[in-house]
Structure 1
Amino acid sequence: MKKIILFFALALSAFPMRADEGMWFLMFIERLNHRDMQKMGLQLTAEEIYSINHSSLKDAIVQFNGGCTAELISKDGLVLTNHHCGYDAIAELSTPEKNYLRDGYWAADKKGEMKPKSLYVRFFVRMDDVSKRILGKVNDKMSEADRNKAIQQEIALIEKENSENGKYVVSVRPFFQGNEYYYFVYQDYKDVRFVGTPPESIGKFGGDTDNWEWPRHTGDFSMFRIYGDKDGNPADYSENNVPIHPKKYLPINLNGVQEKDFAMILGYPGRTNRWMPAGGIDQNVKYAYPAWVEGAKTGMDQMKKHMDKSDDIRLKYASKYASTANYWKNRQGMIDALTKHGTAKAKAEQEAKFNTWANKPENKAKYGNVIATLNNYYDKTNLKARHDNYLTQLLRTSTYSTAPSVIGNALIQYYKENDAKKAEMWPKIQGQIDTYYEEFYAPAEKDILTAQLNLYAAKASEYGLAPTVEKQKRQNNGDFTAYVNDITDKSIYSSKDKLEAFLKNPDPAKLETDPLYGLSMELLGKMRNMNDEQKQMTDDFQKAFRLEVEGLRESKLNPIQYPDANSTLRLTYGKVRSLPADKRNDAKINNYTTFDGMVKKYKKGDAEFDLPQHLLDLYKAKDYGRYADKKGYMPVNFLTDNDITGGNSGSPVLNGKGELIGLAFDGNIEAMAGDVIFDKDLQRTINVDIRYVLWVIDKYAGAKHIVDEMTIVK
């Protein structure tokens, strides 16, 4: 489900807010949502969902490695999340000989659980409102720079006050475009071990073709376990660590789902932009997202060309390719959905109403220039948005475009220091080298850089290219093949072996003259550089955007009470809800899919639609055990109308009693505009049915000992 977040900024003031729209703070559930949730089927108190002093649902939900959500499902720290959320860790632990991505893996006991190099989970402890405190430090006469400085100083104090000398991670975040501020207290656990995953043919069934699509038949799940010291506290990895015993873990309900059943999701949605002005939507649809799509596809094509050559190369690029492909399809879906819905036009109509209100005598001094300032900013940054998205995809897909500057700058500073400082710096530098070259194949990197430079030079020149790229384009007629061959031949960064050879006999003077280092520095500099006019325009925009949101709330032209998502814990509630009948789905109601439908998609030997023979044998025998639906079929996925986005991947889907019924993993492409506007008719969350998860673990994988850890409700 790999998306990034939502909010509602359209001219919908004439429509009542629906209960299934919104990503809500847990601390406000009692005041804003509890009564509605009870009417829909919730049987828990607000205190059972969020409590500071007692165990509650929040204690069973963790942010997984900074970008996904996961939930605890046993008293021994067992964690469930999506397959695509665990993908990086599984790829890291895999080898061509022991390819856990391809073949799956289930630890026979805790000794078989494996520790990836870098993986952590974050528990949410508490939150509070500090808006008055922070906004009391600023005034309307301040420049944006002075305002931001004062705010950051106060944020630093708040974070220090609540960290308990480093025991907790504290984050103060702005909401409603800087009109409110809240702090969040977290506790991180870094000893997280891999327990198991189905093979890719189950966990990623349907591949890129089915991504963001319904009907869906994907077993998108994987499992990990959290370890701590003997007292249950966070601790660095040690063989002496033991599984934690969480304050709360989720019971699992095997009764299945029916149309209109209550469903709520707790998770960490990444980013929504429902207050985005019309000009921003228009800019994304016409300039930014098309460049993103084309740049991502260019990188993917070059990666795929080499990944198809061997399992070793495929493992090196599996994670980068999957991430790039996910957002490639997401951005194209957003272009199509935002265009179809006419979202920019609807926003412009809302802004016209706001502008009329803003220019009333009593409002004009504060709000009169807001819309003009916003429109001016977007008019003058359209070409930059296109340029920056082509360049961003170059930097994201090409190791040669980023590693030389990061490693090179560190080495330049390293050779200037004394021996004691060098000893302190070296472990970090070695870690950077290992990280960049671990998932690296030089022939692929040359092709990726060449293709991306060709595209960037051809499509981003109207804004202005990085100087070296502009010069080479004139000399090579837009074909960077020879140029890339030349600079990689001469560069110490073209392979780990060449870099290590340099480090054995270093000549620091060569670091700054290295051709790949020079190109990398220019590309990153071009991305970051803003002249004085652009800086002032950005400051003016930030102030205008903040005032627009303040004015929209004050005028009630946009009376939404929930803030945009920003990777903080939220609750969304709704119901199991079908889409119109679809002949591609064999289910009786188009709110779930079945094992039958999955097998109909099966294509032997196909990279996206192959299935393991053992799974097909179990299907033929109809060996579903206690996990079959009472009507006899084996469920796979189901739909709810919850309001989610990227970051919610792996979030638990809960019934009215707080029991686990599924695992959120995707959304439907028809509602891909959801990060900007919630579509009450089309918006759906695609979930793995928990019965299918347990069936795969128990019947397919033969890992019943893992299921036995869980508390099963029937």
Structure 2
Amino acid sequence: MKRWFICVGLLLGLSAPLRADEGMWMVHALDGRLAARLDSAGLRLDVGELYDEGRPSLSDAVVAFDGGVGSGSVISDRGLVITNHHVAYGDICALSTSERDLLRTGFWARTAEEELPVEGRSVWFLRRTLDVTRQARQLRARMEAEGRWGPMSLRRLYAELERLYGGDSTLEVRCTSLWGGERYLLHFYEVYRDVRLVGCPPASVGAFGGDADNWSWPQHKGDFALYRVYADSAGRPADYSPRNRPLNPRRVLTLSRRGVREGDFTLVLGYPGRTERYAPSYAVAEKQQVENPVVVANRQLRRQLLARRMERSGEVRRAYADEYFSLSNFTDLARWENRCLQRFDVVARRAKEERRLAAWLRGDSARRAAWGDVCAELQRLYAARRTAQRQLVNMRESWFGASRAWLVANRLAALAGRLERQGRDSLRAGDAELQSLHRIAAPLQGGYDAATDRALLSAMTERFTDSIPRALWGEAMAARFDAAGGDAARMAAEAFDRSVCSDARRFEAFFAGGRSLAEIRRDALVELVGSVSVSRFTGAVREAERRAGGDLHEARARYARALYAFRRAEGRLQYPDANSTMRLSYGRVRSLAPSDGVSLSWRSTAAGLVEKYDPGDERFRLDSTLRRLLSEGAWGAWGEEGVLTVNFLTDNDITGGSSGSPVLDARGRLVGLAFDGNRESMAGNFWYHPDLARTVCVDIRFVMWTIERYAGADWLLRELRFE
């Protein structure tokens, strides 16, 4: 049995206790002490069953979508993968048409021919992890000696290590660093790109409650969807082909018929995205006071505009459902994050530890030489860049992706820049770039609504000019603003109307036969988009830091290494920040008391769907079939004592990217899918609340009941293993 370990103490410190439910642990680095803790918490498997590079293990049944945008698990010998409905939401929208609205009707394929190929979707299996810390440090030292180390050098270091170790491999190789460069790891993935949608409930089930219930408890969502992974005849990754066969996976999860009870052990395996639990108090304050208010204000404006237009048109609703869902999700996240950061006084908590860290650094000359007065340095840098950072966030939120036509114009401007750097002055008939322009114009296809897009661009351009100093606009925008009489919305609408980037037919006609780069750059939207220079804003941030005498990125990395060493010296268990690599978190099923005088159950049941049903609110509508089945209360093998559990709570530690992760019981059986956090856990990017943080999960038995009784897709259940 072969296992890759990071040195003793790297992840686990010395021996001080940590609350059992906190931590997203590197799954490949489970040593004896953490194994003992898992055993004490209730795990009834050897840790070798969780991750083992020498033989199939549970981690082989856990996948990342597109390298980490969501998680999933393999549940059949024919490559069937289950994840969340909201992970699949964009695919469901893209595959819907006016004749076949999958969001409204759901979808269930009876045969392989009925399964829907998903363009651009990939499923990643972790095959190996390698510690390359020594090599990374040697390479960095050489780059520094040669004067080649700068702001973008870390990415170049990653690329060199990926090339060195993955050059002759068929696997995808990704390099990551932990604790500001304390350790470097290479992850080797087998990536399958023939992925097909097999089944999903309608949004009225998969997203029941919509944004009204987002980040809340209790919820009643059947948040699941099914894909199938295909491979070539030898079982290897391959592009889509009708000749491909369903993947025969290394490991398949068994589904639990028993379900869970309060107090049961739970294990989550998945690919959590990003956390900043080694961030200084000044970074937390910046997020709370500078960034989140800007995010909420801008995204709320876009969300309200889309909501009004979606209410009036089913076509607009289908075209913008995915965008609206994303806006709602991130708007609520930023709002509730701020409430939790304030309620739990996270800035003060981090500052208290920093005072102890600063005293520890001052107490030893070697530590002072290694890390300096890094806390005071960070305080100075964050204060200096505050205004420039607010302007940068405002620009990103109000200008980046303001509309689909804006996105086309930005891509076109980038293409013109690349061609100019190649010494070219035009696109001519026969050029490869001319043939691929349809990819640039893709946002104008598939349900694009010009009137909605025009309204979005106008509203967000007005927001931009109201919140950004004129000196940062660029000459072209300033001139157009003046020509429009100081009316930013009019300026944007006029550019939209004149641009080929706002209409697919005009775009195609414009490029028939080719165009000069000068003509491309004279397009009204290309010129407007190009006027706003991102580097102008990021440069202002870096200049503010430079005037304060430092480099924030470098200081943050040094702080993380110092904090790691300090916590280790105190004997504290440590796990690195999440970074879209496979992690393990363990906990238990728990009820919730979110505030004084309020006590909430550990589960929600089918009765709650009936209670929340509101035919006048699209978020709480149920179709006649589901209402009938709920009223009959025939739960079959999936209920117990007359009750069907829909969702349940655990205290597992998760974050974005964990969506769709399998929730396993003590024996490794699938009992649910993680799909949300509760509102009280929204400070979790920076700090995990030991008593209030919860993971919201859909019960696998409700998933099975939905497939069998509601969808009538019982043929899918015949692929699965149950205990």
Fold equivalence (TM over 0.5):
yes
Q: In 2, distance between residues paired with 1:487 and 1:154?
A: 42
8 Å CA contact 2:222, 2:698 repeated in 1: yes
After TM superposition, give the deviation of residue 493 of structure 1 in Å: 1.4
Aligned to 1:72: 74
Aligned to 1:702: 712
Aligned to 2:577: 564
Q: In 2, distance between residues paired with 1:234 and 1:528?
A: 42
- SS of 2:505's equivalent? helix
Aligned partner of 1:551: which letter? A
**Deviation by residue 1:654-694 (Cα, 9 ceiling, x = unmatched):** 00111000000000011210110010000100000000000
When residues 95 and 438 of structure 1 are mapped into structure 2, their CA distance, relative to the original with a 3 A threshold, is closer
**Deviation by residue 1:128-173 (Cα, 9 ceiling, x = unmatched):** 2111221133459769961677755553343234336351100110
8 Å CA contact 1:414, 1:425 repeated in 2: no
List aligned pairs for 1:281-320, cutoff 5 A.
281-320=284-323
Aligned to 1:109: 111
The one of 94, 97, 100 equivalent to 1:95 is 97
Aligned partner of 1:451: which letter? A
After TM superposition, give the deviation of residue 282 of structure 1 in Å: 0.9
Q: Which runs of 5+ in 2 are unaligned?
A: 1-13
Q: In 2, distance between residues paired with 1:498 and 1:528?
A: 33
- SS of 2:117's equivalent? coil
The one of 649, 667, 673 equivalent to 2:683 is 673
- SS of 1:608's equivalent? helix
Q: In 2, distance between residues paired with 1:653 and 1:244?
A: 23
Q: In 2, distance between residues paired with 1:392 and 1:538?
A: 26
- SS of 2:233's equivalent? coil
Q: Is the aligned partner of 1:596 residue 2:596?
A: no
After TM superposition, give the deviation of residue 61 of structure 1 in Å: 0.5
Aligned partner of 2:579: which letter? N
Aligned to 2:694: 684
Q: In 2, distance between residues paired with 1:541 and 1:177?
A: 12
Q: Is the aligned partner of 1:627 residue 2:638?
A: yes
After TM superposition, give the deviation of residue 519 of structure 1 in Å: 1.6
When residues 94 and 539 of structure 1 are mapped into structure 2, their CA distance, relative to the original with a 3 A threshold, is farther
Aligned partner of 1:568: which letter? T
Aligned partner of 2:165: which letter? N
Q: Which runs of 5+ in 1 are unaligned?
A: 1-12
List aligned pairs for 1:203-214, cutoff 5 A.
203-214=206-217
When residues 581 and 672 of structure 1 are mapped into structure 2, their CA distance, relative to the original with a 3 A threshold, is closer
Q: Is the aligned partner of 1:156 residue 2:166?
A: no
**Deviation by residue 1:555-578 (Cα, 9 ceiling, x = unmatched):** 237744210001001010111111
Q: In 2, distance between residues paired with 1:412 and 1:128?
A: 38
Aligned to 1:237: 240
Q: In 2, distance between residues paired with 1:14 and 1:311?
A: 59
List aligned pairs for 1:513-532, cutoff 5 A.
513-525=522-534, 529-530=538-539
8 Å CA contact 2:662, 2:674 repeated in 1: yes
- SS of 1:530's equivalent? helix
Q: In 2, distance between residues paired with 1:410 and 1:595?
A: 52
Q: Is the aligned partner of 1:609 residue 2:612?
A: no
8 Å CA contact 2:270, 2:662 repeated in 1: yes
After TM superposition, give the deviation of residue 459 of structure 1 in Å: 2.6
When residues 470 and 355 of structure 1 are mapped into structure 2, their CA distance, relative to the original with a 3 A threshold, is farther
8 Å CA contact 2:594, 2:680 repeated in 1: no
The one of 589, 596, 616 equivalent to 1:576 is 589
Q: In 2, distance between residues paired with 1:372 and 1:582?
A: 36
After TM superposition, give the deviation of residue 515 of structure 1 in Å: 2.2
- SS of 1:85's equivalent? coil
- SS of 1:137's equivalent? helix
The one of 175, 179, 186 equivalent to 2:189 is 186
Q: In 2, distance between residues paired with 1:499 and 1:368?
A: 56
When residues 427 and 641 of structure 1 are mapped into structure 2, their CA distance, relative to the original with a 3 A threshold, is farther
Q: In 1, distance between residues paired with 2:91 and 2:579?
A: 24
The one of 124, 132, 137 equivalent to 2:126 is 124
Compute the RMSD of aligned alpha carbons. Answer: 2.8
The one of 329, 332, 348 equivalent to 2:335 is 332
When residues 148 and 404 of structure 1 are mapped into structure 2, their CA distance, relative to the original with a 3 A threshold, is closer
- SS of 2:88's equivalent? helix
Q: Is the aligned partner of 1:408 residue 2:413?
A: yes
Q: In 1, distance between residues paired with 2:250 and 2:645?
A: 31
After TM superposition, give the deviation of residue 458 of structure 1 in Å: 1.9
When residues 317 and 53 of structure 1 are mapped into structure 2, their CA distance, relative to the original with a 3 A threshold, is same
8 Å CA contact 1:388, 1:527 repeated in 2: no
Aligned partner of 2:34: which letter? N
Aligned to 1:693: 703
Q: In 2, distance between residues paired with 1:360 and 1:475?
A: 63
Aligned partner of 1:450: which letter? S
Aligned to 1:483: 491
Aligned to 2:503: 495
The one of 506, 512, 516 equivalent to 1:504 is 512
When residues 96 and 32 of structure 1 are mapped into structure 2, their CA distance, relative to the original with a 3 A threshold, is farther
8 Å CA contact 1:289, 1:389 repeated in 2: no
**Deviation by residue 1:229-260 (Cα, 9 ceiling, x = unmatched):** 11111111111111011000100001021111
8 Å CA contact 1:277, 1:347 repeated in 2: yes
Aligned residue-pair number? 699
Aligned to 1:49: 50
The one of 654, 678, 691 equivalent to 2:664 is 654
**Deviation by residue 1:426-484 (Cα, 9 ceiling, x = unmatched):** 45432122245445322111111111122222233399445555566667686422212
- SS of 1:52's equivalent? coil
- SS of 1:79's equivalent? strand
- SS of 1:563's equivalent? coil
Q: In 1, distance between residues paired with 2:558 and 2:370?
A: 8
Q: Is the aligned partner of 1:448 residue 2:459?
A: no
Q: In 2, distance between residues paired with 1:439 and 1:535?
A: 44
8 Å CA contact 2:680, 2:692 repeated in 1: yes
- SS of 2:565's equivalent? helix
8 Å CA contact 1:411, 1:429 repeated in 2: no
Aligned to 2:4: none
Aligned to 1:9: none
When residues 456 and 689 of structure 1 are mapped into structure 2, their CA distance, relative to the original with a 3 A threshold, is same
Aligned partner of 1:99: which letter? D
- Percent identity reads 31
8 Å CA contact 1:23, 1:643 repeated in 2: yes
- SS of 1:170's equivalent? strand
Aligned to 1:357: 360
**Deviation by residue 1:252-302 (Cα, 9 ceiling, x = unmatched):** 001021111010000000000111111111111111100001111111122
Q: In 2, distance between residues paired with 1:464 and 1:412?
A: 21
Q: In 2, distance between residues paired with 1:14 and 1:283?
A: 34
Q: Is the aligned partner of 1:201 residue 2:204?
A: yes
After TM superposition, give the deviation of residue 97 of structure 1 in Å: 1.1
Q: In 2, distance between residues paired with 1:456 and 1:185?
A: 42
When residues 462 and 595 of structure 1 are mapped into structure 2, their CA distance, relative to the original with a 3 A threshold, is farther
**Deviation by residue 1:94-135 (Cα, 9 ceiling, x = unmatched):** 101100011101111222101022211011001021112211
8 Å CA contact 2:265, 2:587 repeated in 1: yes
After TM superposition, give the deviation of residue 419 of structure 1 in Å: 8.8
8 Å CA contact 1:126, 1:184 repeated in 2: yes
- SS of 1:96's equivalent? coil
- SS of 1:252's equivalent? coil
Q: In 2, distance between residues paired with 1:317 and 1:265?
A: 32
